[in-house]
Structure 1
């Protein structure tokens, strides 16, 4: 296994991680921003006002996008395990 191969596997792993975490992180960012603007406009500083809606919406996004995330991860792992014979020999 060459250093280039190791770098390629690492790059693919980072790419998969970003693609899988992206929808949840982006949703949390958008919801947090919307709630922060609402809190600034109404001067309500309640911690649960941030936590509960974010938790509910992230759960909903996970239900919607979860099957795609799982399938993408399974495809990556199958490709990685399938390439083991070529990487060793």
Structure 2
């Protein structure tokens, strides 16, 4: 394995990881911002009000995008094994 191939594999894996994390984290961050603005406007300082909507949105995103995320991971895993087979021969 040459350093160029290793760098490509690491780059692809980091890009895939970043994409999957953003899909999960970004909706929670947006809901957290909306809840924080609501709490600031109404001066309600309840901790569960900030936590529960983010948890529900994260679970919803997992339910909606979970199949797509798993297919991306499976495709990446298959491509890694195919490249490994070509590198050995």
**TM-score band, normalised by shorter chain:** over 0.9
TM-score by length of 1: 0.94
Structure-to-structure mapping, 1:9-88, within 5 angstroms: 9-88=9-88
Tell me the C-alpha RMSD between the 2 structures: 1.0
Structure 1 distance, partners of 2:63, 2:88, is 38
Aligned partners of 2:30 and 2:21: how far apart in 1? 14
Q: How far does residue 86 in structure 1 lie from its aligned partner after superposition? A: 2.0
Tell me, which stretches of 5 or more residues in structure 1 are unaligned?
none
Structure 1: which 4+ aligned runs deviate by more than 3 Å?
none
**Higher relative contact order (Cα pairs below 8 Å, separated by 6+ residues):** 1
TM-score, normalising length: structure 2? 0.94
